[in-house]
Structure 1
Amino acid sequence: MTQINYDVAVIGSGPAGESAAMNVAKHGKSVVIIENRDEVGGGCTHKGTIPSKALRHAVHQVLQFNNNPMFREISKPIWLTFEQALQSANKVITKQVEMRNRFYGRNRVDVIKGTARFQDKNKLVISGGEHHNNVIKADHIVIATGSSPYRPAGIDFTHSRVFDSDTILNLKLTPKRIIIFGAGVIGCEYASIFSGLGCKVDLVNPTSSLLAFMDDEISDALSYHLRGHGVLIRHDENFESCQASDDNVKVTLTSGKTITADVFMWANGRSGNTAKLGLEKLDIKVNSRGQIEVDDNYQTSVEGISAAGDVIGWPSLASAAYDQGRSSVARFCGEEEYQVNQVPTGIYTIPEISSIGMTETELTKAKIPYEIGKAYFKDTGRAQITGETVGVLKLLFHSQTMELLGIHCFGDQAAEILHIGQAIMAQDGEANSIKYFLSHTFNYPTMAEAYRVAAINGLNRLAGD
């Protein structure tokens, strides 16, 4: 058994772990990442964000081709298989891994392959790989182990027709019909992907609406367009049992309904990857989903141990995890600590969704006087040129101060469009005003121009026009 000393040890090489390690390295301190996968990148690169968004992009491109009348002159509509779409995703994964390995090498970040377990608050024992049984000692340790799909008892996930949101990437066929249980972000994204591949999709939702945390109008728009692409949404339905055979999968719901399909995918919740860390030795508590409680600066209850990313729960977004990871070692690096807030939501359905700030429901409950400005994509020159005319940009602003309070976008490039408004919302005082979009010129034709249209629409409504 060999002991290796570092200033900081990071468990996990996903977005949170990577940004923590890079921040440490940039401050001239020694740092090691311990990763239990064969390649760096964490679940984000190999199972979650990157593959699902690459799959979605491949499917979206085919839909654009099939729906464009110009291409009908040169070709009949085409259809991808799931494996073909996945090949595109695998190419992106390879590029991501290569890029991250270059970053680690350039910044002198050591990477150890294996599983880490706490011996005490400053020591980690490594299992597996060439460092098996070695001890890593560090002054500060960052837990960035991510999350895994929650798997309820009673479902045989070893069956070839039963999947969760990680193992779905191992699917070898393109099903004629798939049942997805769980209509959160992951469930809705995969419903879009499979319907885009020509599959019949049953999206089973335990609640009464899709993405209940979103603006109601945006949620309704997503429901409408998913149904328009053949997705059957079953609201207020709960899971009872799943029986898989060589021929099909039968899912029984508590309402008594039985649905039959080729494939079943469970997409209802995720759990923090903490079970094998030995946290009980340190008296670090986790909740029922294995998530670690941290303070505003991502420090755990034990001095010298921080946690960031999906392992701490909400918002469980790669974008937030990068910022959390960097902040989790700020104190150790002598930087000012900060809390990651006002995190934009990006949901990569077809069409995609993005949001930041308050919803109409929240503003009404808080008794904040507000008005609404809208720009429908079908009325913008750029959308008419690209053919991506489905969508709306919705601005919520204070009816007295003109302050931007919420931005909600549904349609092509929504996650990109949102950041223009986000930058204005972050300004102090009068600089945060819907009037910004009238006093500054936007390129024409662009999707960004929708802000000017929405601002005019909102101010006209405020004036009673």
Structure 2
Amino acid sequence: MHEYEMIVIGSGPSGRRAAIQAAKLGKSVLVIEKGRRVGGVSVHTGTIPSKTLRETVLNLSGWRERGFYGRSYRVKQEIEASDLMMRMHKTLDHEVEVLEHQFHRNAVRTRWGKARFAGPHEIEVTSESGETRVYTAATILIACGTRPFRPDYVPFNGVNVLDSDEIVDLKKLPRSLAVIGAGVIGVEYATIFSALDVAVTLIEPRPTFLDFIDKELIEEFTHDLRDCNVALRLGSAVNSIKLSEAGRPVVALANGRVVQAEMLLFAAGRVGATDALNLEAAGIATDHRGRIAVTPATLQTSVPHIYAAGDVIGFPSLASTSMEQGRVAACHAFGLEPAAPPEFFPYGIYSVPEISTVGMTEEEVRKREIAYECGVARFRETSRGHIMGLNSGMMKMIFSTRTRRLLGVHIVGEGATELIHIGQAVLNLKGTIDYFIENTFNYPTLAEAYKIAGLDAWNRMARPRSAGPLSA
């Protein structure tokens, strides 16, 4: 007999969802967390802090109102790092309280310390004081998440050369910032600091960035970046990073260019936080980035009673999908077969402006040789956009010309991560262009863009003269 029916390593989105799901099935559950409070990377250094930081910046800088009042408009003239940190810590405290209450309400036990496998069913936990104890469980879920990739050639110092975990604990706002890595994290922080009127240089070795996003959307987003004075340095690798005599980071690029800034954020990837887990004792291997391979449908590792979920298993590495993975793993572990997940899920990038996408990009549609048509709506075409003072923002919808079904929705602009869910619902319910043409949307709202884009696509589609709305 084992002490627990499930042990969960990590209390991030996938870990806490799995623990609560298992507890609701009447199982005894132990969550092991190496931090001092529950929540994992998502609550303490990742999702919640970065999104709170973004919202605080947009509010205090008056960024949303500059369309009306000009670029010099500010809600608070002198914004300090302490202004940003105050709201963030308040939000984090609330998130932790909610999680602790959920664990208590569902009788989920927690232990603080570093976990490592002592065997396939045994987890050794070492507390901060050095005390060690072994716990056993019939089922184990690895939900330890990831940590920033920190190569040796980067002179991290915790002051002005930082990784993406350290950036959320700023002591002083820089006047200039260089960001290495134009992935989701790098782009988000580059645009957040740009909204504070920090001079930002975004460096990416590849000639393109965010390649999983529709290219037309990236073109629009790139225009927004340049309009906000973000300097893009694409297509050139980093040769070296050194500190000048004045202590400022200096980045030498392979093409001969040099980027100097007051602060450097290195955001070129993350690695699975698995190196200290002693996975060999359980018979589990990882790839070169410390990630664990699983069976997608069940989240089982190569050892059937050991599951893994969340960022540690790789793409898509979203808090939303991680939560669902944790629930699926717990259900499968205790004999329930959850329904197959919907075909499409939304992807949200909390940059300034936001990007959100669901379904196929135009490039994917072309690759599959599907006959299609696109419809585009500009936010400035909507009354709500005028009310909000929006000068940018667009929605792109892709439809099959044969079946009229919606194939993809791609949005860049204010509220994109909220608006996308209408498209997600229609897409997963196999809806057609007719939904957007025939239905009524609240007026004035940005959601009207769905109707505008739908009509734009309808006007471009070949059809009998009698088909569709006469006024389109």
- TM-score > 0.5, shorter chain as reference: yes
Q: Note if 1:34 corresponds to 2:36.
A: no
Query: Hey, what does 2:265 align to over in structure 1?
Result: 265
SS in 2 for 1:275: coil
Which residue of structure 2 lines up, in the alignment, with residue 309 of structure 1?
A: 310
Specify the code of the residue in structure 2 equivalent to 1:38: R
Q: CA deviation at 1:158?
A: 2.7
Q: Distance in 1 between matches of 2:65 and 2:421?
A: 30
Corresponding position of 2:23: 25
Instruction: Indicate yes or no: 2:347 matched with 1:336.
Output: no
**1:416 alignment partner, one of 415, 418, 422:** 418
Instruction: Quote the Cα distance in structure 2 between the aligned partners of 1:102 and 1:281.
Output: 34
Q: Kindly state the Cα deviation for residue 148 of structure 1 after the two structures are TM-superposed.
A: 0.6
Do the aligned residues in 2 keep the contact of 1:83 with 1:174 (CA within 8 Å)?
no
How many Å separate the matches in 1 of 2:327 and 2:321?
Answer: 10
* 2:225 matches 1:226: yes
Whether the 8 Å contact between 1:163 and 1:266 is mirrored in structure 2 is yes
Normalised by the length of structure 1, the TM-score is 0.94
Deviation at 1:43, TM superposition (A): 0.3
For 1:366 and 1:214, locate their aligned partners in 2 and report how far apart those are by CA, in whole Å: 17
Counterpart of 1:365 in structure 2 is: 367
Q: Tell me which residue corresponds to 2:8.
A: 10
Paired residue type of 2:271: S
- Which residue of 1 is the match for residue 44 of structure 2? 46
Deviations 1:45-89 (A, max 9, x none): 111111111111112222336616469999887352333223222
Per-residue CA distance 1:7-53 (angstroms, 9 max, x = gap): 10000000000100010011111101100001111001111111111
Residue 275 of structure 1 corresponds to which residue in structure 2?
275
Q: Which amino acid letter does the alignment assign opposite residue 64 of structure 1?
A: W
Could you tell which deviates more after superposition, 334-343 or 175-184? 334-343
Q: Is 1:388–2:386 an aligned residue pair? A: no
Say which is worse superposed, 304-313 or 438-447, in terms of deviation.
Answer: 438-447
1:251 aligns with 2:272: no
Distance change (3 Å), C-alpha of 1:339 and 1:239:
farther
| Alignment CA distance shift 1:395-1:71 (3 Å) | closer
SS in 1 for 2:387: helix
Question: Would the aligned equivalents of 2:140 and 2:305 in 1 still touch at CA under 8 Å?
Answer: yes
The 3 A distance-change label for structure 1 pair 66 and 285 is same
CA distance in 2, matches of 1:360, 1:378: 23
**Equivalent pair of 1:65/1:71 in contact (CA under 8 Å):** no
1: distance between equivalents of 2:399 and 2:294?
A: 33
Structure 1 unaligned spans of 5+: none
CA distance in 2, matches of 1:220, 1:197: 23
Displacement of 1:343: 2.5
What TM-score results when the alignment is normalised by the length of structure 2?
Answer: 0.93
State the superposition RMSD in angstroms: 2.1
Aligned-partner Cα distance in 2 for 1:213–1:110: 39
Q: Is the 8 A contact 1:33 1:112 kept in 2?
A: yes
Q: Report the counterpart of residue 137 of structure 1 in structure 2.
A: 136
User: Does 2:147 correspond to 1:148?
Assistant: yes
Shift of 1:461: 0.9
CA deviations 1:115-147 (Å, max 9, x no partner) are 111111111000114793111111100000000
Structure 2 match to 1:179: 178
Cα gap change, 1:367/1:71 in structure 2, threshold over 3 Å: closer, same or farther?
closer
Aligned residues: 460
Task: Quote the offset at 1:463 in angstroms.
Answer: 3.7
CA separation in 2, counterparts of 1:5 and 1:186? 40
Q: How far apart in 1 are the matches of 2:73 and 2:175?
A: 28
> Residue 205 of structure 1 contacts residue 235 of structure 1 at CA under 8 Å; is this kept in 2?
yes
- The residue identity in structure 2 corresponding to 1:376 is R
Residue 404 (structure 2) aligns with: 402
Contact map agreement 1:25 1:108 (CA 8 A) in 2: yes
% identical equivalent positions: 40
Structure 2 gaps, min length 5:
464-471
The residue that corresponds to 2:377 in the other structure is: 375
* CA positional deviation for 1:244: 1.9
SS in 2 for 1:331: helix
2:324 partner letter: D
- Name which of structure 1's ranges 241-250 and 408-417 shifts more when overlaid on structure 2: 241-250
Question: After the TM superposition, which of the residue ranges 385-394 and 297-306 deviates more from structure 2?
Answer: 385-394
Does the CA-based 8 Å contact 2:65-2:73 persist in structure 1?
no
- What's the CA shift string for 1:293-319, capped at 9, x where partnerless? 000211000020000000000001101
Is 2:120 the counterpart of 1:121?
A: yes
CA distance in 2, matches of 1:221, 1:354: 13
Letter in 2 for 1:334: G
3-state DSSP of counterpart to 1:57? helix
Amino acid across the alignment from 1:206: P
One-letter amino acid of the structure 1 residue matched with residue 308 of structure 2: A
The one-letter code matched in structure 1 to 2:8 is: V
8 Å Cα contact 2:409-2:420 kept in structure 1: yes
2:467 match: none
Query: 3-state SS of the aligned residue for 1:396?
Result: strand
Q: Secondary structure at the match of 1:444?
A: coil
Compute the displacement of 1:223 (Å). 1.1
CA displacement at 1:210 relative to structure 2: 2.5
**Within 2, Cα distance between the matches of 1:125 and 1:338?**
34
- The residue identity in structure 2 corresponding to 1:335 is L
Distance 2:69 2:238 in 1: 45
Secondary structure in structure 2 of the residue aligned to 1:20: helix
